[in-house]
Chain A
Amino acid sequence: MTGFARTVWVITRKDLLVEARTREVLFTTLFFAISCVLVFAFGFVREGRPVSDAAAGILWIAIAFSGTLALGRVFERERHGETLRALLIAPIDRPALYVGKLVGILILLAAVEVVVVPLVALMFQAALFDHALLMVGLLAAGTVGFAAVGTLFAAMLVRARSRDVMLPILLYPITVPVIIAGVRGTAALLQPEGGLPMARAWLAMLVFFDVVFITLALWTFEPVMTE
């Protein structure tokens, strides 16, 4: 197990170091997420006040869109440097490679969410932090589910044609259940009273999806990435 964990750490560290040099993906994704929130805000504001319940949907749409962008950029970088091929040739466990890249993406998305979530709470006057632990749980479980599928497909598509448009086409239908659960869980959490058991139920649903998606991804990563 320690060999696996060490490989994961090496890969994640590599990704974080590369990103720390330029911070390109972090800043561009962050800016995109903020623009996303703004665009939706203008769409859902009536007479200067935001439509209630819009906050949950907009938050998760911003996460989904910026997540897709980040995934595309990170793997584009790998393709450019031909480093993915090097990683595949290296004598490491393929699942460890997958998990390493997944953790890197998760850290990146977490950094984005740290900014976007308070922004949404502010702009939509949504009490997202009243039940902070549950909110963090929903965000974590939802982001893991989304990123688990996204990492698999983004890696898979590195050598495919039309990869830029293919990633959203493949990713969104499959991660819709995760987004739905995230939105409904957040909306339940935002209810003035009585929404907590529902929010917890949606959280359990998210964890279930995470387990299924990660298992499927681990299972298919090896055969899909080999020539």
Chain B
Amino acid sequence: MKQTLFVPLTLVAAAMFAYAPFMILAAPYESTMGLVQKIFYFHAACGMALFLAAAVSGVGSAVFLFTKKPAADRLAVAGAELSVVIGLLVLVTGPLWAHKAWGVWWTWDVRITSTLVMWLIFNAYLLLRRYGGPGSERLAAAVSLFGLANVPFVYWSVNVWRTLHPKTSVIPTLQPGMRGTFWFCVGAFMLLSVVILMLRTELEKRRQELDALYLAAED
């Protein structure tokens, strides 16, 4: 079933990404930040995709820890790797925007610091799986759970503390010109994330088949 969905989903995602720049160019400018605010459309969409990836990894890890289903573990790895990639996008586009909007490349704001911490946790997950030796799947799953626990904190932090970073209230109050473009980009990134997760879990499944085959060949 997954195989048949993969190609159409990829095509739709690609089409959305091809169209997105036009929408972004056509969107109105922001009154205080001007052109640089247009980074928002991909930056915030990546942020939401990051939450999705982290949630997939965390939930997959929890299911794996308590049911030992290999499919859950595959999802956990895919989610963690995607979190690292998308987290990198968020952490690079943010400072590029911040340089113009706030006058500094980086600030130890709650939202920014906690996002960095969450990114590091998923990096640690990947390092553990790679270098931790046999049995590290279970250990890494525990790490991923702590990463998941960060997600609500990262999201709400910007509303609770005084910070430079825009609050979550920005999204619901977006004006029509910006709103459509933003949600379109979110859709594009969500679809892309799903496609990448499908691809990456397929890779993991193949790897596990290969390992099993090697073990069988040794006998």
Residue pair B146, A174 in contact (C-beta under 8 Å) = yes
112-150 of chain A: CB within 8 A of chain B: 149
A162 at the interface (CB under 8 A from B): yes
B66 A157 Cβ-Cβ under 8 A = no
Write the nearest CB–CB distance from A57 to chain B, whole angstroms.
12
Residues of A within 8 A of B9 (CB): none
User: Are B124 and A170 in contact (CB-based, < 8 A)?
Assistant: yes
Q: Are B65 and A220 in contact (CB under 8 A)?
A: yes
Let me know if B141 is at the binding interface, CB within 8 A. yes
Contacts of B139 in A (CB 8 A): 156-157, 160, 224
Given contacts A149-B146, A220-B145, A223-B66, A169 and B124 within 8 Å (CB-CB) = yes
Residues of B near any A CB (own CB < 8 A)? 65-66, 113-114, 117, 120-121, 123-124, 127-128, 131-133, 135-136, 138-139, 141-143, 145-146, 149, 153
Number of interface residues of A (CB under 8 A): 25
A177 CB within 8 Å of chain B: yes
A contacts with B: majority SS: helix
Q: List 30 A-B contacts (CB under 8 A).
A: A156-B142, A157-B132, A159-B135, A160-B128, A160-B135, A160-B136, A161-B133, A161-B136, A162-B131, A162-B133, A166-B132, A169-B124, A169-B128, A170-B128, A170-B143, A173-B120, A173-B121, A173-B123, A173-B124, A174-B117, A174-B121, A176-B117, A177-B117, A177-B153, A216-B146, A219-B145, A220-B142, A223-B66, A224-B138, A224-B141
**In the bound complex, how far is the Cα of B92 from the Cα of A15, in angstroms?**
47
A174: which B residues are within 8 A, CB to CB? Answer: 117, 121, 143, 146
